[in-house]
Amino acid sequence: MAPGLDFSDWGAKETRKGTPVVVKMENPNYSVVEIEDPDAAFRPVEKSRGKNAKQVTWVLLLKAHRAVGCVAWIATLFWALLGTIKKRLIFRQDVDMASEKLGKGKLLFTVIKAFLVTSLTILAFEIIAYFNGWHYFQNPSLHIPRTSEIQGLFHLVYVTWLWFRADYIAPLIQALSKFCVALFLIQSADRMVLCLGCFWIKYKKIKPKIEGNPFKSNDVEGSGYDYPMVLVQIPMCNEREVYEQSISAVCQLDWPKDRLLIQVLDDSDDESIQCLIKAEVATWNQRGINIIYRHRLIRTGYKAGNLKSAMSCEYVQAYEFVAIFDADFQPNPDFLKQTVPHFKDNPELGLVQARWTFVNKDENLLTRLQNINLCFHFEVEQQVNGAFLNFFGFNGTAGVWRIRALEESGGWLERTTVEDMDIAVRAHLNGWKFIFLNDVKVLCEVPESYEAYRKQQHRWHSGPMHLFRLCLPAIITSKIAIWKKANLILLFFLLRKLILPFYSFTLFCIILPLTMFVPEAELPVWVICYVPVFMSFLNILPAPKSFPFIVPYLLFENTMSVTKFNAMVSGLFKLGSSYEWVVTKKAGRSSESDLLAAAERESKTTNQLQIQRGASESELTELNRLKAAPVPVKRVNKIYRKELTLAFLLLTASVRSLLSAQGVHFYFLLFQGVTFLLVGLDLIGEQMS
């Protein structure tokens, strides 16, 4: 902590404190003493009186201690800054050296660097002008000085900059800001309509229902319902942390064993993980579960290629429905009984989607912020679109498809990284309807590290733009109604996938900071305060317990718009990173079903020799060694410095716009310069991975 410095006495040498008191003595032999302030009574009156040397020494020592402490604090701060720069720029610690992935993706960060240098140059002009007293904005009108007022060449340059800024830069920023504000209002209106639709659903209690109880029967076996053939697929790739709990949860589904087949679709390239998954599948197979292990030697098409390869098996033709669960999803035993009956007597229904719920939503600040977004996505967007339009984007997991709908829509295609959205759009164009079940929840995980979350968001925002390029001709030439085409093009793709990241990045990450350097292009208060806060309240309504995190959520969403905008541009123009799939790292959090199955797993290990009858003793020893292998230590979660400083920069610019007092203008400029410097150091030292 910096030592406290008291500056209150610097300019008060001639100031009198207290009320003057005059003391008069009746004896004329005594002199008159005038006390000007309380401390004057204790100061020597006559020069002949000596000073207390001990008191003077203590005062000097105290002041010297304060001065040394201040100097030491400044030196420590400066040394720490130099150490950070040395580590980042010279030794390049904590820097990803993936130079092969630079390419065109580096263009955005090059633009940000150029913007940084320009901003720092303008900031230097502003600071020098402030110290020289060149204030021309004490009133709303711009004052251009006359020739007699010019005080040198530098002053002339500064005045020229003011004129150029007011006549050329400010109009461009104002025009762009008006365009972005218009997009902002359109997107906000769409959010409000969705929220009103959600309120109407809650008020009218609109939700898909199953007529009667199809599983109610008087006989013991419950044969009153004709159980259809269901295929369950678990695609995974190097999922050491979650493979066991996922397979365990799916194998405990309450469905007749002769009407159920489970496919474990493993794309792992790690042989040790393959052995573990094979052993887990063999264990459940010995316990009477109809489960199959499939492994591809060549991982083409990522998840879409994996699912396509599995659907090409001949035995799949005997099944009517397919349920898909990613490796970290843990469905309840009654999942199929809550979803599959909706297909009965509804031949136009192609998909039943369940809602996600998260076992680690309170793990850290990042998971809490993700929970806000995903709760709004499921509670509002998916539920409203499913209730009123019978269409929404398939989430890739926790859903049940009619296999005939998949086949008639072209099956799984490997042309994009959002194969779930791709098949949903093609099925919608073929006339199939969707149902969203908000009451059926499936446990899963959200990324706990920022790096995993950033890569996930890049895939989620680049894939839709890539898909939009590919399926736009099919949408235009399809035979569906015109209003459905308009909904797909204008709302589903343009407004929610393209316009949202564009205006968020441009308005709040470019224009808002520029208003600190160009006061003529000031944004209205309702744009930077009232509307964003109101929309944040709407977003947080489905997760009311997250209300204390509304300010970090607002700042975090604005800073993440940099990543989302970069991903959107990458997908729209088909850049190198638009078709890149990085498996999201999981932590393997336990759910209630895992805890209930703990005793079974313990007994399974004790009876392993009996279950694995076909394995030799050496194979069992190797399997135990693989299972006992320590899990790699999870890296400490951190919010990268450039996102954090950008968040403070946006907060500073917002407060600066709200506080129009000229006295605080310079201090906000100075604070902005420091944040820009931190962002610049981080961008220079870190290459985009």
Radius of gyration of the CA atoms of the chain, in A:
34
Give the global pTM. Answer: 0.71
Determine the 3-state secondary structure of 7 from DSSP.
Answer: coil
Of the pLDDT bands very low, low, confident and very high (cuts 50, 70, 90), residue 547 is: confident
190 assigned to active site: no
Least confident of 230-239, 488-497, 578-587, 607-616: 607-616
Give the strand pairing for 21-23 and 33-35.
antiparallel
Determine the 3-state secondary structure of 292 from DSSP.
Answer: strand
DSSP letter for each residue of 643-689: HHHHHHHHHHHHHHHH---GGGHHHHHHHHHHHHHHHHHHHHH----
Closest CA to 649 of 550, 521, 512: 512
Give the distance from CA 260 to its chain's centroid.
38
For 278, other C-beta atoms within 10 Å of its C-beta total 15
Token pair, residue 287, equals 């316990």
Determine the 3-state secondary structure of 350 from DSSP.
Answer: strand
CB 329 within 8 A of CB 444: yes
Highest mean pLDDT among 15-19, 482-486, 566-570: 482-486
Percent of the chain whose pLDDT exceeds 70: 65
pLDDT at position 159 over 70: yes
Distance, CA of 325 to CA of 327 (rounded, Å)? 6
Give the angle subtended at the CA of 421 by the CAs of 415 and 426, to the nearest 5°. 80
420 assigned to active site: yes
pLDDT at 410: 94
Of the pLDDT bands very low, low, confident and very high (cuts 50, 70, 90), residue 317 is: very high
> Which residues, listed in sequence order, are joined to residue 441 by a DSSP beta bridge?
355
Token pair, residue 3, equals 């030592």
Distance, CA of 170 to CA of 176 (rounded, Å)? 10
pLDDT in tens, 215-249: 765 544 445 578 999 999 999 998 888 899 999 99
> Which residues, listed in sequence order, are joined to residue 436 by a DSSP beta bridge?
353
CB 559 within 8 A of CB 650: yes
Any idea what DSSP says for residue 330? B
Any idea what DSSP says for residue 386? H
Any idea what DSSP says for residue 377? I
pLDDT in tens, 319-349: 999 999 999 999 999 999 999 999 998 999 9
For the chain, how are helix, strand and coil distributed in percent, rounded to 5? Answer: 60, 10, 35
Least confident of 52-61, 115-124, 243-252: 52-61
Closest CA to 185 of 432, 430, 440, 495: 495
In the chain, count H helices and then E strands.
25, 9
Distance, CA of 130 to CA of 664 (rounded, Å)? 12
Per-residue CA distances from 301 to 101, 415, 545, 689 (Å): 20, 8, 40, 22
Catalytic residue among 266, 267, 326, 328: 267
pLDDT at position 149 over 80: no
DSSP letter for each residue of 514-561: HTTT-GGGPPPHIIIIIHHHHHHHHHHTTSGGGGGGHHHHHHHHHHHH
Give the strand pairing for 433-444 and 349-358.
parallel
Which strands, in side-by-side order, build the sheet including 399-402?
Answer: 291-295, 260-266, 230-236, 321-324, 399-402, 349-358, 433-444
Tell me the domains of the chain and their CATH numbers: 106-180+449-587+637-688 (no CATH), 230-446 (3.90.550.10)
CB 393 within 8 A of CB 420: yes
pLDDT at 496: 93
CB 437 within 8 A of CB 354: yes
pLDDT at position 611 over 60: no
CB 160 within 8 A of CB 125: no
Give the angle subtended at the CA of 400 by the CAs of 212 and 417, to the nearest 5°. 155
pLDDT at position 503 over 70: yes
Catalytic residue among 266, 326, 328, 420: 420
pLDDT at position 1 over 50: no
pLDDT at 656: 57
pLDDT at 627: 54
pLDDT at 389: 93
Angle between helices 302-311 and 419-429 (to 10 degrees): 60
Token pair, residue 98, equals 């993936």
CB 343 within 8 A of CB 405: no
Least confident of 23-32, 74-83, 373-382, 475-484: 23-32
pLDDT at 610: 43
Distance, CA of 425 to CA of 394 (rounded, Å)? 9
Distance, CA of 512 to CA of 173 (rounded, Å)? 10
Residues 6 or more apart in contact with residue 354 via CB below 8 angstroms: 331, 335, 338, 339, 398, 399, 437, 440, 441, 442
Distance, CA of 163 to CA of 166 (rounded, Å)? 5
| Backbone phi and psi for residue 4, each to the nearest 5 degrees, phi listed first | -75, 135
pLDDT at position 147 over 60: no
pLDDT at position 124 over 90: no
pLDDT at 118: 75
Token pair, residue 477, equals 């030439």
For 385, other C-beta atoms within 10 Å of its C-beta total 20
CB 267 within 8 A of CB 237: yes
In terms of Cβ atoms closer than 10 Å to its own Cβ (0-12, 13-18, 19+), residue 55 is exposed
Per-residue CA distances from 307 to 293, 296, 323, 324, 409 (Å): 13, 11, 11, 9, 15
CB 3 within 8 A of CB 11: no
pLDDT in tens, 175-216: 999 999 999 999 999 999 999 999 999 999 999 988 777 876
Question: Which of the two residues, 245 and 100, has the higher pLDDT score?
Answer: 245
Closest CA to 460 of 496, 433, 495, 411: 496
